C-alpha cells in the first residue's frame, strides 16, 4: 500500500507541474493588462496635430494590473509616408503603469491637402511573464488619428525690367504670385515701396486680391511705374510685398513674401539739345555802307587847328 501511495503522490506532483507550466506559458491571453493612448481631453476622436515641419508626439500607456512583470515588444504603423519611432521593447513591473513616446517625423505636409486625417496604429505584444516566454503571446492594439495642418504660403516673383526707362515715361513690371501652401488662398494685402520719390506706381496689382488660388496655382498682374519728367538719372530699387489672406484672417503665423528689382531711369528725351530753328522763315539783312574816301585822323585835325591859329595871329599883328 505504501508503494502505491508513494507512486500516486508522485503522479499527482508530476501532473500538477505539467499542468502548471503550460498555464504560466499561455496565461498571457487572460492576464490583466492593457494599452491606451493619452488623448487630449480624453477624447479618442480628437486627432493629433502634425506641425508644419512634419512632426508629432504621441504618449501611450501600458497598464500591468497583474502580479507578474511583463516583457513586451512594440510595432508602429502610420500614414503620410512619415517615420514612426518608439521603443522596440520594454518591461513593466507588476501592478504598475508605464508611459512611452511615439515620435512622428519626416512628413511633408505640403504633399497633402490641409485637414486630411489618417489612422496610426500601436501594437504591443506580451512575450514573457515574470521571465517565462509565452507560447501564445497576448497582443493588443491602440489607434488614433493624425491630421495635416493648414499651411498658408504665397510666393512672389517680379520679372526684371527689359532695360532702362526715360524720365517722363512709364514701364510695366510683371508680378507673379503662386500658392505654395496646401489650401486655397489669395493675396490679402499689398505693399509697394521704392527709394525714388519721383517714381509713381499705379494700382495694377489690386487685381491680385480678387483671385482665389488653389494649391500650386499661379496668377499674374502688371505694375506700371511712371517717372516724372524732372526725374534725374538714377537707379531705383522697387520692392513689393504681399500677405496671405488666409493667414491674416486666421491669426496664424504671418505668411508674407517679398521681392525686389532695380530699374535705371535716364534723363528725359526732351533734354537733348540741337539747332535752334527760327519760327519765322523771313531773314533780315543789315547792310553796311562803306566810303572810299580816306578818313581824317586825329593828328591831321590838330595840325589844321594849329595852322589856323598861327595865321590868325599874324593877321592881327599886321
| Bridge partners of residue 19, in order along the sequence | none
- pLDDT value of position 93: 97
If one counts every other C-beta atom within 10 angstroms of the C-beta of residue 225, the result is 23
Q: In a 3-state reduction of DSSP, which class is residue 186?
A: coil
- pLDDT value of position 269: 82
Kindly state whether residues 57 and 98 are assigned to the same domain. yes
Q: Is residue 15 part of a domain?
A: no
Kindly state whether residues 141 and 120 are assigned to the same domain. yes
Distance, CA of 125 to CA of 128 (rounded, Å): 9
If one counts every other C-beta atom within 10 angstroms of the C-beta of residue 213, the result is 21
| Cβ-Cβ contacts under 8 Å for 86 (sequence gap 6 or more) | 74, 76, 100, 101, 102, 103, 122
Q: Is residue 48 part of a domain?
A: yes
pLDDT in tens, 276-315: 444 444 444 333 333 333 444 555 555 555 555 544 554 4
Q: Is residue 73 part of a domain?
A: yes
Average pLDDT, the chain: 83
The range of the structural domain enclosing residue 178 comes to: 154-269
Q: What percent of the chain has pLDDT over 70?
A: 75
Contact between 37 and 146 (Cβ < 8 Å): no
pLDDT at 73 over 70: yes
Classify residue 113 as left (phi > 0), alpha (psi -120 to 50) or beta: beta
Q: Is residue 282 part of a domain?
A: no
Total domain count for the chain? 2
Q: Which of 217, 219, 211 is nearest to 174 (CA)?
A: 219
Kindly state whether residues 132 and 25 are assigned to the same domain. yes
Kindly state whether residues 189 and 120 are assigned to the same domain. no
Q: Is residue 5 part of a domain?
A: no
Q: What percent of the chain has pLDDT over 90?
A: 71
Q: Which of 147, 163, 196 is the last residue of a domain?
A: 147
- pLDDT value of position 29: 63
pLDDT at 17 over 50: no
pLDDT at 128 over 50: yes
pLDDT in tens, 89-100: 999 999 999 999
pLDDT in tens, 265-278: 999 887 654 444 44
Kindly state whether residues 264 and 173 are assigned to the same domain. yes
Kindly state whether residues 223 and 164 are assigned to the same domain. yes
Q: How confident is the model at residue 83 (pLDDT cuts 50, 70, 90)?
A: very high
Kindly state whether residues 130 and 79 are assigned to the same domain. yes
Q: Around 137, how many Cα atoms within 13 Å sit in the side-chain half-sphere?
A: 16
- pLDDT value of position 85: 97
Q: Is residue 69 part of a domain?
A: yes
Q: Provide the pairing of β-strand 199-201 with 187-194.
A: unpaired
Contact between 123 and 71 (Cβ < 8 Å): no
pLDDT at 20 over 60: no
Distance, CA of 59 to CA of 98 (rounded, Å): 10
- pLDDT value of position 242: 96
Kindly state whether residues 51 and 140 are assigned to the same domain. yes
Q: Which of 237, 253, 269 is the last residue of a domain?
A: 269
CATH number at residue 199: 2.60.40.10
Kindly state whether residues 112 and 168 are assigned to the same domain. no
Q: Is residue 312 part of a domain?
A: no
Average pLDDT over residues 44-57: 96
Q: Is residue 172 part of a domain?
A: yes
Q: Which of 114, 147, 180 is the last residue of a domain?
A: 147
- pLDDT value of position 21: 42
pLDDT in tens, 242-261: 999 999 988 776 689 999 99
Amino acid at each position: 500500500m505504501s508503494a502505491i501511495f508513494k507512486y500516486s503522490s508522485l503522479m499527482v506532483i508530476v501532473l500538477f507541474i505539467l499542468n502548471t507550466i503550460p498555464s504560466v506559458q499561455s496565461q498571457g491571453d487572460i492576464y490583466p493588462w492593457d494599452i491606451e493612448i493619452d488623448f487630449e481631453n480624453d477624447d479618442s476622436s480628437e486627432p493629433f496635430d502634425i506641425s508644419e515641419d512634419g512632426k508629432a508626439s504621441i504618449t501611450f500607456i501600458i497598464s500591468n494590473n497583474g502580479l507578474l512583470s511583463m516583457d513586451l515588444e512594440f510595432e508602429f504603423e502610420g500614414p503620410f509616408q512619415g517615420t514612426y519611432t518608439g521603443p522596440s521593447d520594454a518591461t513593466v513591473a507588476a501592478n504598475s503603469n508605464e508611459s512611452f513616446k511615439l515620435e512622428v517625423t519626416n512628413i511633408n505636409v505640403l504633399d497633402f491637402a490641409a485637414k486630411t486625417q489618417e489612422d496610426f496604429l500601436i501594437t504591443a505584444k506580451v512575450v514573457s511573464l515574470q521571465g517565462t516566454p509565452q507560447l501564445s503571446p497576448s497582443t493588443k492594439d491602440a489607434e488614433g488619428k493624425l491630421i495635416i495642418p493648414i499651411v498658408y504660403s504665397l510666393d512672389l516673383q517680379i520679372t526684371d525690367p527689359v532695360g532702362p526707362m526715360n524720365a517722363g515715361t512709364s514701364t510695366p513690371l510683371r508680378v507673379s504670385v503662386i500658392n505654395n501652401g496646401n489650401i486655397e488662398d489669395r493675396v490679402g494685402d499689398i505693399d509697394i515701396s521704392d527709394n525714388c520719390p519721383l517714381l509713381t506706381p499705379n494700382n495694377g496689382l489690386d487685381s491680385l486680391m480678387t483671385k482665389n488660388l488653389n494649391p500650386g496655382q499661379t496668377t499674374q498682374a502688371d505694375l506700371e511705374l511712371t517717372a516724372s519728367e524732372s526725374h534725374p538719372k538714377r537707379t531705383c530699387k522697387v520692392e513689393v510685398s504681399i500677405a496671405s489672406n488666409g493667414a491674416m484672417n486666421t491669426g496664424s503665423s504671418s505668411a508674407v513674401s517679398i521681392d525686389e528689382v532695380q530699374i535705371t531711369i535716364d534723363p528725359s528725351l526732351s533734354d537733348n539739345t540741337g539747332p535752334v530753328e527760327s519760327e519765322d522763315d523771313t531773314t533780315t539783312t543789315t547792310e553796311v555802307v562803306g566810303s572810299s574816301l580816306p578818313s581824317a585822323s586825329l593828328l591831321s585835325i590838330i595840325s589844321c587847328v594849329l595852322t589856323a591859329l598861327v595865321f590868325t595871329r599874324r593877321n592881327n599883328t599886321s
